[in-house]
Amino acid sequence: MKSLIVCVSTSHGNTRRVAERMAEVLGAEVVEPESVDPEALRQYDLVGFGSGIYYMAVDDRLRKLIRRLPDVADIRAFTFFTSGARGIPLLNYHKPVRKRLEAKGFEVIGSFSCRGFDTVGPFGFIGGINRGRPNDHDLDRAAAFAAHMRKRVGGSAAAS
């Protein structure tokens, strides 16, 4: 099974830490959106798309990549996010990304999220929220999620 993880992590490296833990399980490379050749994604069995949530939205760099993706078939995908705030049902972060990926032909088979250290806006004045997140428990959950994704695709970990 050949896997790739596309990740945007700008503020504190929260999302990158989650991506790297998932990559260990999947034998995947972690890359930023700008280094992805959209046509080359056809060679992967599983692609993860992740971002920190900034001002209640997925990073624009990831959204731009998804808009540039070609139509594909038989590629499974997953999404993952870190956020300072608890998920709000009306602001379901993965739903718009999922819809865009599915419109391109990806089969989105799961989504993962956890809290991350956040110092944006007023949180910076108080030293931030969720200090120490993602923590070991969050990263273990990310690894378990990745193992579940690998099992769903039917592959074993292999370096990409």
**Contact of 21 with 135, CB cutoff 8 Å:** no
Q: Which residues contact 160 (CB under 8 A, 6 or more apart)?
A: 2, 3, 4, 27, 28, 29, 44
Q: Is residue 33 part of a domain?
A: yes
CATH code of residue 28: 3.40.50.360
- pLDDT per residue, tens digit, the chain (160 aa), is 999 999 998 776 788 999 999 999 999 999 999 999 999 999 999 999 999 876 677 778 999 999 999 999 889 999 999 876 665 544 567 788 999 999 999 999 999 987 665 656 555 555 555 566 678 898 999 999 999 999 999 865 544 3
Q: Is residue 159 part of a domain?
A: no
Number of domains in the chain: 1
Q: Is residue 25 part of a domain?
A: yes
The model's pTM is: 0.86
Q: Is residue 10 part of a domain?
A: yes
Domain enclosing residue 69, as ranges: 3-153
Nearest to 59 by CA among 21, 116, 2: 116
